[in-house]
Amino acid sequence: MSYSDTELMVVKAAQELRDGDSVLVGIGIPNLAANLAKRTHAPDLRMIYESGTIDSDPSSLPLSIGDPVLASGAASIESLHGGFNYYLQAGRIDAGFLGGAQVDKHGNINSTVIGDYDDPDVRLPGSGGACEIASNVERTIITTSHQRQRFPEEVDFVTSPGFIDGEGGREKHGLQGGGPAAVITDMAVMGFQNEEMVVESIHPGVDREDVQEATGWDIKFAGDVDETEPPTEDELRLIRDELDPDGVYL
Amino acid sequence: MSYSDTELMVVKAAQELRDGDSVLVGIGIPNLAANLAKRTHAPDLRMIYESGTIDSDPSSLPLSIGDPVLASGAASIESLHGGFNYYLQAGRIDAGFLGGAQVDKHGNINSTVIGDYDDPDVRLPGSGGACEIASNVERTIITTSHQRQRFPEEVDFVTSPGFIDGEGGREKHGLQGGGPAAVITDMAVMGFQNEEMVVESIHPGVDREDVQEATGWDIKFAGDVDETEPPTEDELRLIRDELDPDGVYL
Amino acid sequence: MSKVTSMKQAISTAISDGDSVYLAGFTHLIPFAAGHEIIRQEYTDLEVVRATPDLIYDQMIAAGCVGKVTFSWAGNPGVGSLRAFRRAIEDGVPNPIELEEYTHFGLVMRLYAGAVGLPFVPLKTFSGSDLPAENDNIRSVQSPFGDEEVYAVPPLNPDVAVVRGQRADENGNVHLWGIPGEHKEAALASDTVILSVEEIVDESVIRSDPNRTLVTADDIDYIVEEPYGSHPSYAQGYYDRDNDAYLNWDEVSQTHESTQEWLDEWVYSVADRDEYIRKLSSDRLLDLQTGNAYSEPINMGEN
Amino acid sequence: MSKVTSMKQAISTAISDGDSVYLAGFTHLIPFAAGHEIIRQEYTDLEVVRATPDLIYDQMIAAGCVGKVTFSWAGNPGVGSLRAFRRAIEDGVPNPIELEEYTHFGLVMRLYAGAVGLPFVPLKTFSGSDLPAENDNIRSVQSPFGDEEVYAVPPLNPDVAVVRGQRADENGNVHLWGIPGEHKEAALASDTVILSVEEIVDESVIRSDPNRTLVTADDIDYIVEEPYGSHPSYAQGYYDRDNDAYLNWDEVSQTHESTQEWLDEWVYSVADRDEYIRKLSSDRLLDLQTGNAYSEPINMGEN
């Protein structure tokens, strides 16, 4: 069964979630991934959105993190103050999704500016809640497309800290969350060893050179780097028929 | 029409409230006073209780600050955290009632211990929310019975700051509320001049010497000290027939 | 594995001698049944924490369960003082207890700091009072914006909290209405949480109104369905405060001996809350019934 | 004197050129009608503050009302970037604007500090990020209990806030359900507050459920009854988000000229929200209708 890059990313992102996790979900791939995990290996996943909905049970695909389907049938709804304080800062969230215009070798993310802060080439949306997710969640999962300008050795601006300057960087800065656990792109799945990004599996049809070419530094490959396992038919059917039947994000 | 000391105190305390005030009410005399004010000269009085009920509209006499009649029909209910933060600390309360085992010359109140803190003669209940009322409310109204041991020159323990050590005391301590505005006892009504307690009116049947005798320092008397005006028949009727028909506090 | 259990089981599994325990509830939904179970199980040396250590803490102190009280107002609300509490402090009967004292705001902010994971929280109170001199957990801190100094308190994270609500689903998503007090902060600050409710209801009831939820399943370890679990305190919409019980306690607790007799009759010789309630006269129960006054519903929309 | 008035009157009385203004609402109950009225009244040099300056701030920026944006995430939610916002920053069109930038948590905590009267509040974020270097209102502070350092932000007290809710009584006691965002903190932090609701209801409706109240009358200066006041955002239980409008804005705002044309048609040539809504096709309005899903009521008891 053929599949798109997005579908593969959704499936890989879903596999990063564990049953019983409280996960801070965003719109698009993260939302599809969380809902896929909940319908497969993680029925007790608790989906939490930045808008304050706790244990959402969306009856249809949410189009923004404030979609009413995330509020209807949720277990609870917090104000912004409550969600960020009681859930994020208090360390109640196990996993969270992040994206961004740039991700660097140490998993730091830029979603603020390309170029100089005071005279930017491109003004990006800014942190939103990304900095607090990156700081306080136990495992962050980064999803992004894999292009050289998106993977510089060092980001132009650290919006959301990964491992900062590498080993011991998070401890030095007093960050309670564990930092980036996985980076999932349209080419590969990467993890972190000694606080540096390492390719763990490469998607079918992509080779090492492609990944290196699309990365702005000499990226390391794990000793046992494998071909990424493709989505199963069940996973694809769930994504296409139940989660995003109109193909909004696929 | 004859009246009790308590009834006179209720009426005098009510007269300290202004229409439109948000008042932090306690049980007993303060509750009767606030409800009397609301039914007479201050129909837009907003009664707020330490338990977090905002603009309560009690259908019957509350027996504690957490009585369900204070919640039913209120405009809002805050948690303890919300009430103390959004209302008291933020300076949203105009007037508040305080009592205590000792009140001194500068309006400081002790409701913690008689004697030494670590080996008390009498262990009193402690501050509760009194310290934050004394600190943050614009005008506090103190009601207590008038006895020498209750009116020492200096309290054994400052639970709730009045003017602390006198002129400029509150400014020096950064307190936003205006401090004690009135002390209402079963003998007299006192105000403050230059941050020191001054007798403003003496109740019928009591003379200056009685007041001085029941006070632990040379208390000052205002130049125009009057006899306290007795309650009107309307006021007494409201108190007896509507506010406390069973005479719980009278 | 279901979290739904008996209070007996919940208390015996959750609490150990010497633990810090917060029985939440400010004037409303006070977990009296949990307190009685703690007494029956003869715990000792507990640090009991509570803004208002009222009758239930007075009973635990009289029973010898308590080594320390952390509090902000210790009285019999609307009635007078707590006699067992005072006997322990003034005379060391049945044992001396240590005190750690705050104002309501100070203690609530300690719980809040514990619930939100901060090393300290600033607050505007204590200045000009003698309390900071007696408690090293009340310290001043300067604002990094300008010269203003305010006081601060550190987080409080009790070992165990007992919190209440009117209704919860069997996962522990709980609705509370009326006076919320500090139930939420106590639940979120504590390591282990026992939730006791008047009714366990279908999950759809809770999820029909998520804005009413106090805390969610993830923060609840044990759930006890316990009608009248707050008597002689009250549960808004279920039963009123039994004011005679508060007045009566002022008599009962006059001496250590009369207090022990009351504990024998109403706690030690009673198996659980159900038996306690059945022991009350039906007149008394009927007097506590409230009529019905339903809230105007909201429409969440069919999404 | 009644506070109930029109949005036109409320805005013209409450706001002056150069004021700081917070239109509250995080993804839900965004006060679009108030934003359009600000544009119609041709305000200039406003400091507009908002966690998520989405379409409504993009429109105000394009209309030349804005001198400064204080924010934490500037995008078209679920769609892409804010083109007018970017034109102002990248090219100074129609005028350059100053930026003051936070994270969501940072900005919400500034409002909270403003609402609760504190000179600063600590929070766990910013560490390891480059944001503190660009914003002097983000400073570190050491805990008075141990060595831990955290960041802190000062209070934010806007001159004017516009907040929304589904229903309020004519005094301004307001119920909000669904996603509450920062409506409460914005109302309590600001000097002047305009409340806009879908419906004005009898006081007894609000008082039947005081736990649902967002803010009370004392904090509200003007009340506007304005059905569909949040379109194309949504009001839980009243109407859904008009997603096509968000997608369409991405087209409309491609150039400054096309943006002006849209403003001419949908803002400047429209008298008020009622006329705006009548201008929408009935198909579009019908698509936004939600079915009914009522909350399970609570019993407050007859006291």
Could you report the per-residue pLDDT of C248-279, keeping only the tens digit for each?
Answer: 999 999 999 999 999 999 999 999 999 999 99
Establish if D178 touches chain C: CB-CB under 8 angstroms.
Answer: yes
Mean of the per-residue pLDDT values for chain C?
97
DSSP state of D235: B
- Residue of C13, C14, C55 lying closest to C35 (CA atoms): C55
Q: Do chains A and C touch (3 or more CB pairs under 8 A)?
A: yes
Question: Could you say which residues from 220 to 239 on chain C have a Cβ atom under 8 Å away from some Cβ of chain D?
Answer: 236-238
Over residues C123-165, the pLDDT tens digits come to 999 999 999 999 999 999 999 999 999 999 999 999 999 999 9
Cβ–Cβ gap D104/A64 under 8 Å: no
Subunits with 3+ C-beta pairs closer than 8 A to D: A, B, C
Query: Chain C: nearest CA to B131, how far in angstroms?
Result: 7
In a domain? residue A250: no
Confidence of residue C167 (pLDDT cuts 50, 70, 90): very high
Q: Is C147 exposed, middle or buried (0-12, 13-18, 19+ CB in 10 A)?
A: exposed
d(CA C37, CA C31): 10
Cβ–Cβ gap D26/A51 under 8 Å: yes
Main-chain dihedrals φ then ψ at residue D42, nearest 5 degrees: 55, 45
Cβ–Cβ gap C115/A72 under 8 Å: no
For the cut 80, the answer to whether the pLDDT of residue C303 exceeds it is: no
- Residue of B16, B76, B21, B88 lying closest to B50 (CA atoms): B88
Cβ–Cβ gap D303/B68 under 8 Å: yes
Contacts of C180 (CB under 8 A, 6+ apart): B52, B77, B78, B79, B80, C214, D211
Over residues C73-102, the pLDDT tens digits come to 999 988 889 999 999 999 999 999 999 999
Helix (H), strand (E) counts: chain D: 12, 13
pLDDT tens track, chain B, 250 positions: 899 999 999 999 999 999 999 999 988 899 999 999 999 999 999 999 999 999 999 988 888 888 999 999 999 999 999 999 999 999 999 999 999 899 999 999 999 999 999 999 999 999 999 999 999 999 999 999 999 999 999 999 999 999 999 999 999 999 999 999 999 999 999 999 999 999 999 999 999 999 999 999 999 999 999 999 999 999 999 999 999 999 988 8
Residues of chain D in contact with residue B60, where contact means CB-CB under 8 angstroms, are: 303
CA-to-CA dists, residue A108 to A117, B138, D122, angstroms: 17, 49, 24
- What is the SS3 assignment for C231? coil
- What is the SS3 assignment for A29? helix
- What is the SS3 assignment for C302? strand
Q: Which helix (H) or strand (E) holds C244?
A: helix C243-252
d(CA C71, CA C104): 8
Residues of chain A in contact with residue D108, where contact means CB-CB under 8 angstroms, are: 80-81, 84
Give the residue from chain B lying closest to D214, CA to CA: B76
- Residue of D77, D48, D51 lying closest to D62 (CA atoms): D48
d(CA A197, CA A156): 18
Of B75, B76, B89, the CB nearest to D116: B89
User: How many domains does chain B contain in total?
Assistant: 1
Q: Which helix (H) or strand (E) holds B17?
A: none
- Residue of C51, C97, C49 lying closest to C70 (CA atoms): C49
d(CA A47, CA A13): 14
d(CA C17, CA B246): 46
d(CA D101, CA D69): 8
Residues of chain C in contact with residue A68, where contact means CB-CB under 8 angstroms, are: 300-301, 303
Cβ–Cβ gap B73/D213 under 8 Å: no
Residues of chain D under the 50 pLDDT cut: none
Of A131, A169, A170, the CB nearest to D126: A131
Residues of C with CB under 8 A from a CB of A: 115-118, 171, 173, 188, 206-207, 210-211, 213, 215-219, 300-303
Tracing tokens 């808008």 back to the chain, one arrives at A51
Contacts of C32 (CB under 8 A, 6+ apart): C55, C56, C229, C230, C231, C232, C233
Q: Do chains D and C touch (3 or more CB pairs under 8 A)?
A: yes
Does C232 sit behind a cis peptide bond, omega within 30 degrees of 0 on the bond before it?
yes
The domain spans of chain C are: 7-102+157-287
Of D188, D216, D303, the CB nearest to B75: D216
Q: What percent of chain D has pLDDT over 90?
A: 97
pTM, 2 dp: 0.97
Tracing tokens 């005071």 back to the chain, one arrives at A118
CA-to-CA dists, residue D259 to A227, C124, D89, angstroms: 48, 48, 16
Cβ–Cβ gap C90/B120 under 8 Å: yes
Over residues A200-221, the pLDDT tens digits come to 999 999 999 999 999 999 999 9
Q: Which two tokens stand for residue C123?
A: 């607050």
Cβ–Cβ gap B76/D173 under 8 Å: yes
Residue pair C22/C49 in contact by the 8 Å Cβ criterion: yes
pLDDT tens track, chain A, 250 positions: 899 999 999 999 999 999 999 999 988 899 999 999 999 999 999 999 999 999 999 988 888 888 999 999 999 999 999 999 999 999 999 999 999 899 999 999 999 999 999 999 999 999 999 999 999 999 999 999 999 999 999 999 999 999 999 999 999 999 999 999 999 999 999 999 999 999 999 999 999 999 999 999 999 999 999 999 999 999 999 999 999 999 988 8
Residues of chain D in contact with residue C29, where contact means CB-CB under 8 angstroms, are: none
Main-chain dihedrals φ then ψ at residue C246, nearest 5 degrees: -70, -40
ipTM, interface predicted TM-score of the complex: 0.97
Q: What percent of chain C has pLDDT over 90?
A: 97
Cα atoms found within 13 Å of the Cα of residue A50, Cβ hemisphere only: 30
Cβ–Cβ gap B85/D116 under 8 Å: yes
What is the Cα D292 distance to its own chain's centre?
26
* Amino acid making up residue B149: Q
- What is the SS3 assignment for A68? helix
Positions of B marked catalytic = 50
Give the residue from chain C lying closest to D204, CA to CA: C296
Mean of the per-residue pLDDT values for chain A?
96
What is the Cα C285 distance to its own chain's centre?
22
Query: Chain A: nearest CA to D129, how far in angstroms?
Result: 5
Residues of chain D in contact with residue C157, where contact means CB-CB under 8 angstroms, are: none
Query: Chain D: nearest CA to A224, how far in angstroms?
Result: 32
Residue pair C170/C223 in contact by the 8 Å Cβ criterion: yes
Tracing tokens 């407050």 back to the chain, one arrives at D300
* Angle between helices C256-263 and C55-62 in degrees, nearest 10: 100
Of C119, C150, C298, the CB nearest to D143: C119
* Amino acid making up residue D59: Q
Ramachandran region, residue B236 (left: φ > 0; alpha: ψ -120 to 50; beta: rest): alpha
Give the residue from chain B lying closest to C127, CA to CA: B173
Domain that holds residue A203: 5-243
Of A66, A84, A132, the CB nearest to D28: A66
Cβ–Cβ gap A76/C300 under 8 Å: no
Q: Which two tokens stand for residue A116?
A: 């100089």
**Beta-strand (E) ranges in A4-75?**
22-25, 46-49, 53-54
Residue pair D185/D154 in contact by the 8 Å Cβ criterion: no
d(CA D248, CA D55): 11
Give the residue from chain B lying closest to D185, CA to CA: B86
d(CA D249, CA D253): 6
Query: Chain C: nearest CA to D49, how far in angstroms?
Result: 20
Q: Do chains B and A touch (3 or more CB pairs under 8 A)?
A: no
Residue pair A161/A122 in contact by the 8 Å Cβ criterion: no
* Angle between helices C243-252 and C55-62 in degrees, nearest 10: 30
Which domain CATH number covers A163? Answer: 3.40.1080.10
Topology of domain D7-102+157-287, per CATH? Glutaconate Coenzyme A-transferase (3.40.1080)
The alpha helices in D7-150, defined as continuous H runs, are 7-14, 32-40, 55-62, 83-91, 104-116, 131-134
Report chain D's terminal Cα–Cα distance, integer Å. Answer: 32
Residues of chain D in contact with residue A170, where contact means CB-CB under 8 angstroms, are: 128
DSSP state of D104: H
Which member of A50, A132, A195, A200 is catalytic? A50
Query: Chain A: nearest CA to C44, how far in angstroms?
Result: 31
- What is the SS3 assignment for C300? coil
d(CA A138, CA C272): 41
- If one counts every other C-beta atom within 10 angstroms of the C-beta of residue C220, the result is 20
- Residue of B216, B169, B211 lying closest to B188 (CA atoms): B211
Query: Chain A: nearest CA to D227, how far in angstroms?
Result: 18
DSSP state of D8: H
